[in-house]
Structure 1
C-alpha cells in the first residue's frame, strides 16, 4: 500500500525526517509516535503531496482520490462561512464536484452520517457554533462518507473530551475491521496499545517499526525522546 524509500522531507532544505525506509501493508493499522517536531505530521503531509521529498520517494498503491486525510483540528478555520452539513458533504466532492450538485440521496447520506457521529440535528449549524469535539466529530463524518481505502489521521484526539474520544475510536476500529489501511499520529501510548497492530517510532529518523507489542517499549521510546529533534536554523543540510 505505502512504501517510503530513502525518504527525506523537510523545510528550507533542512530535513524533519531523513532516510526513512518503511513499508505499510494494505489493511494495516499503524500508529506513528514520537516527540514533538520529529516529523510525524510532515510524513502524512508528504503522503498527501503537500510536501515534496528532498530525497527518496513515496510509493502509494492506490489512486489519490482513495485517500482520506484528517489534519490537526487546529487547522480548521471555524470562522469560515460553512455549515456542519457542508463540511461533511465536502467529503463527496471528488465524486460529485460542487456541493450544489448533491442530490437527495447524498443529503440523506450526510444526515445519516451526522447521526452516527452524534451530531443529529446540527446539520445547519455554522462551524463557529461548534465546540472542538463537535468539529472533530464532523471531520470524522466527512471521512466516513469519503469511503477511502487509506485513512490518514493527524492527532485526531487532541483537546477533546473522553466520551468523544471513546466514540471516535469505535469508528477507527470499524475502519480497521473493514480492512481499510489506517495510519494515525498519536501521543497517547495506551490508545496505541489498545487500537493499533503496528507502530512506527520516529525521531526525525526511524527508531523502530513493527508489531506494537514488540516495538512500543521503554527502550525505543527513550531513544526517540532523548534524541535532538529540533533542527537549528543554521544547521548543515543533511548529507547523511
Structure 2
C-alpha cells in the first residue's frame, strides 16, 4: 500500500525525515508518534504528494483520488465561504471530476455521511460558524463520502471534546474493519495504546515501527526524547541512517 525505502525529506530547508524504510500494510491501522518537530506531519504530506522527497523512494499504491487526507484543524481555512453540505460534497470530486454534475446519489451520500457523524440538519451552516468539534465531524463526513482506500489523519482529535473524539474513533475503527489503510499522527499515547495496533515512532529518524506494545517502550521513548533534544536546526541532511533505519531496511 505505502512503502518507504531510505526516504529522506526536508521541509523549509530544514531536515525533517532521514532515511526511513518500512511499509504500511494494506488494511493496517497505524499511529505515527514522536516529539514535536519529529517529521510526523511531513511524512503524511510526502505520502499525499504535498512535499517532494529529497532522497530514497516512496511508493503509494492507490491513485490520488483514492487517498483521503485530513490536515491539522489549524490548517483548515474556516473563513472560506462554503456551507457544510458543499464542503462534504467535495468528497465526491474524485468520482465527479472537476466539471462533473452533482447527482441525486451524491447528495444522498452526503446526507448519510452527515447523519453518521451526528450533523443532520447542519447542511446550510457555514463552516466558519462551527465549533472545532463540529468542523472535524464535517471533515470526517467528507472522507466518508470520498470512500478512500488510504486515509491519512494529522492530529484528528486535537481541539475536540471527549464525545467527539469517541465518535470519530468509532469511524476510524469502522474503516479499519473495512480493511482500509489508516495512518494517523497522534500525541496521546493512551489513545494509541488502546486503539492503534501498529505504531511508527519518529524522531526525524526511525526509532521503532511495529506492534504498538513493542514500539512504545520506555527505552524507545527515552531515545526519541534524547534525539529531539540533540537536534541542530542548522544541520544538513544526514548521509547515513540510524541503526534502527538500517535494520528496518534489511
Q: What interval of TM-score do these two structures reach, taking the shorter chain for normalisation?
A: over 0.9
Contact 1:38 1:229 in 2 (8 A): no
TM-score for the superposition, normalised by structure 2: 0.92
State the partner residue of 2:110. 110
* Stretches of structure 2 lacking an aligned partner (at least 5 in a row): 241-250
- Check 1:99–1:160 CA distance in 2 against 1; reply closer, same or farther (3 A cut): farther
C-alpha distance in structure 2 between counterparts of 1:75 and 1:235, whole Å: 27
How much does 1:57 deviate? 1.1
How much does 1:12 deviate? 4.4
C-alpha distance in structure 2 between counterparts of 1:155 and 1:48, whole Å: 16
1:216 aligns with 2:235: no
| CA displacement, residues 107-157 of structure 1 (integer Å, 9 cap, x when unaligned) | 121012101101110000011111100000000000111111111000000
C-alpha distance in structure 1 between counterparts of 2:208 and 2:41, whole Å: 17
Count of residue pairs brought into register by the alignment: 240
Contact 1:38 1:230 in 2 (8 A): no
C-alpha distance in structure 2 between counterparts of 1:229 and 1:98, whole Å: 46
State the partner residue of 1:204. 204
State the partner residue of 1:91. 91
C-alpha distance in structure 1 between counterparts of 2:13 and 2:77, whole Å: 29
How much does 1:237 deviate? 4.0
| CA displacement, residues 204-232 of structure 1 (integer Å, 9 cap, x when unaligned) | 00100111121111111111122136854
How much does 1:97 deviate? 2.4
SS in 1 for 2:18: strand
Contact 2:14 2:234 in 1 (8 A): no
C-alpha distance in structure 2 between counterparts of 1:237 and 1:103, whole Å: 49
- Check 1:114–1:226 CA distance in 2 against 1; reply closer, same or farther (3 A cut): same
State the partner residue of 1:67. 67
1:37 aligns with 2:37: yes
Contact 2:42 2:51 in 1 (8 A): yes
C-alpha distance in structure 2 between counterparts of 1:196 and 1:133, whole Å: 21
TM-score for the superposition, normalised by structure 1: 0.95
Aligned ranges 1:44-59 → 2 under 5 Å:
44-59=44-59
- Check 1:162–1:12 CA distance in 2 against 1; reply closer, same or farther (3 A cut): closer
- What RMSD over aligned residues (CA atoms) do the two structures have, in Å? 1.5
How much does 1:24 deviate? 1.2
Contact 2:35 2:228 in 1 (8 A): no
C-alpha distance in structure 2 between counterparts of 1:158 and 1:183, whole Å: 16
* Stretches of structure 1 lacking an aligned partner (at least 5 in a row): none
